[in-house]
Structure 1
Amino acid sequence: MKITLIPKGAIIKKSEVSAVFLIGFISEKVVACRNERGWDIPGGHLENEEELIDGLRREAEEEAGVSFMNAILYAKSTTSSKGKYKDKYMVVFVSNSCKLEDFTPKPDALERDLLDTETLIERYHGEKDLLCDLIQKAQESLKKQ
């Protein structure tokens, strides 16, 4: 996968987006959730006609019981998917206005936690270098605001 930064004010066509993800900070810790694959950041596929930010809010609530006031769209990642997600990309938002709400474990959202970056990367089930890069770029994006 390749990460590309999205310039501020760039137009993103939701028809080209397969999924949305959140790097959510509370103090210096990152909101993390555990599903059947392992630890991850909140996110997932958009529902029909759903706006990017609405899909992000829904996924963050469903997977981690987290809400946020605002989020910055800062990166996209191409995928090697085939079928209906071919030629689409995932987008990543960052927020430092996250708040933990009630969380009830369910089959696709087993646990949530606030983890320091090192611990999250250690536990992450996917490409560790990719997540490390996403978190670093998220922190840089927040500093520019």
Structure 2
Amino acid sequence: MANLMTDKSTKALIITSLNDNLYPFLSFITDRKMKDLLILNSYWSVVSSPNNSAMRNILLAMVSHNIEEIYIVGSNDSKSLELIGSHQSIEMSCEDCQSVNDEVIVKNYVRLIKDHQLVPKTTSVQGYIVDTKNEIYERVRGEID
């Protein structure tokens, strides 16, 4: 049987949108160098179900890259948002959304990943929102710990 461990050092997995403006913040959020980060970009529909291919890719990355920390990073300047349900996505434009924002999406990602039966309880899963205009970031509150 082949050994899936390809890297002895631990890395952090970043799940984020396609917004390139977030990249400068990733090292600060994780307190790691860019070489120690594995980045998964998506259009916020990557983890819509605990059993889809994206979740399998996350699990494989956790094993093959020795991932101990997962960060879900969103921004408050997205031009379009998707509300992630357990098995569906609802696309909305920012003009239509008052209370639905990336913070809700990040909280849903954190919950889906933390609650997955194959994700070890020792794995840290955190969510962050970045305000690229004001160059600040904050941890999403109300996560399941």
Pick the structure with greater CA Rg.
Answer: 2
Q: Return the structure number with greater strand share.
A: 1
TM-score (normalised: structure 2): 0.30
TM-score (normalised: structure 1): 0.30
